[in-house]
A = this chain, B = another copy of it.
C-alpha cells in the first residue's frame, strides 16, 4: 500500500491536473481516460473539495470546460485554475502590455488587455504558431527592451496527444531564454503562486490537500514544493523512468485517477 494512504485520512481537498489525468488530448478534441468521469463524480459526492489546476493554454477556460463537459465530466469554469487568467492579473498589477505568442484559441482571454507598444512577451502552448517567423518576432522584441521580460504559461517539456508526444511551451521558453540570455517568469504549474491560488479558493492549507497529476516535475514536484502531497498517475505523459527521477519522488504512484480515488475514499475520515 502506498505511503500517501496514511495521510489520506487528513485530506480535505483534491487538486487534479486535467490533460493526461481526465483525458488524452488530440485530434477531434481527445478522449476521456477510462474511469475518470466516474472518479470526478465520486470525489464530489464524498464531500471533498475539488479544484482543477491545468497548464492548458490552447483554448479559453470556457471552451476547454465545455469540451470536458461534452465528454461527461462534472466540471465548472469556476473550479478551474489556468495560466491565462493568472497572467492577466499580473499584467494589470504591474502595468504591462504583452506581445502574445500563443494559440489562436487563447487570444480571447486577453481581450481586455492593452497590447499596444508591448513591453513584455507572453508565450503559451502556441503549437503550430511556434513558427521560425513568430519566434524571431518575439526574440527581436525582447532584444529591443531595456529589461527583456518573458512570461511562460507553464514550463512543461511535452504532453501526450492521441497520436503521440508533442513538445510543450517549456521547450520554447528555454529557446528564448538562451537566445536572449534571460530567465523567464513562469505563470502556471509548477509556480508556487499557482498552487496557492487553488488552495485559497478551497479555503485549505497545503497539508490538507493532495495533487494528482501525470507530470512528475510540474504537478507532483510543484505541489510538494508548496507543502501538498503529490501523487503521479501512470496515464498521459507518464513514463516508467519517472519513478527513478533523480530529484522528484511522488508520495504515491497509481495506475490511473480511478485507482487514486479508490484509495483516497477508502482511507477518508479514518
- Give chain A interface residues in 174-195, CB to chain B under 8 Å: 174-179, 181
Output the least CB separation between A213 and chain B (Å).
18
B-contacting residues, A91-115, CB 8 Å: none
A171 neighbours in B (Cβ, 8 Å): 135, 139, 175-176, 178-179
Q: Is the CB of A167 within 8 A of B135?
A: yes
**Complex contact A136–B179 (CB within 8 A):** no
Least CB distance, A134 to chain B, in whole angstroms: 10
Docked pose: A244 CA to B68 CA in angstroms? 53
Task: Choose, from A17-25, A124-132, A255-263, the stretch at the interface.
Answer: A124-132
Residues of B within 8 A of A139 (CB): 158, 165, 167, 171
Complex formed: what's the CA distance from A178 to B127 in Å? Answer: 17
Chain B residues with Cβ below 8 Å from A132 are 126-131, 167
Q: In the assembled complex, how far is the CB of residue A221 from the closest CB belonging to chain B, in whole angstroms? A: 14
**Is A157 interfacial (CB 8 A cutoff)?**
yes
How many angstroms from the CA of A136 to the CA of B131 in the assembled complex? Answer: 12
Residue of B nearest to A157 (CB): B179
What 1/0 flags go to A145-180 for Cβ under 8 Å of B?
000000000000110000011110011101111110
Q: Is the interface of A mostly helix, strand, loop or mixed?
A: helix
Q: How many copies make up the complex?
A: 2
Give the docked Cα–Cα distance between A22 and B131 (Å): 29
A76 at the interface (CB under 8 A from B): no
Report whether A140 and B128 are in contact in the complex, using a CB–CB cutoff of 8 Å.
Answer: no
Tell me if A45 is interfacial: C-beta within 8 Å of chain B: no
B-side contacts of A178, CB under 8 Å: 157, 170-171, 174
CA–CA, A26 to B135, complex, Å? 18
- Of chain B, the residue at the smallest CB distance from A156 is B179
> Which residue of the partner chain B has the closest CB to A134?
B132
| Contact A165:B140 (CB < 8 A) given known A128-B133, A132-B127, A132-B128 | yes
The answer to whether A77 has its CB under 8 Å from any CB of chain B is no
A143 adjacent to chain B (CB < 8 Å): yes
**Is there contact, CB below 8 Å, between B140 and A135?**
no
Complex A-B: 10 CB contacts under 8 Å: A128-B132, A128-B133, A129-B132, A130-B131, A130-B132, A139-B167, A143-B165, A157-B178, A174-B175, A175-B175
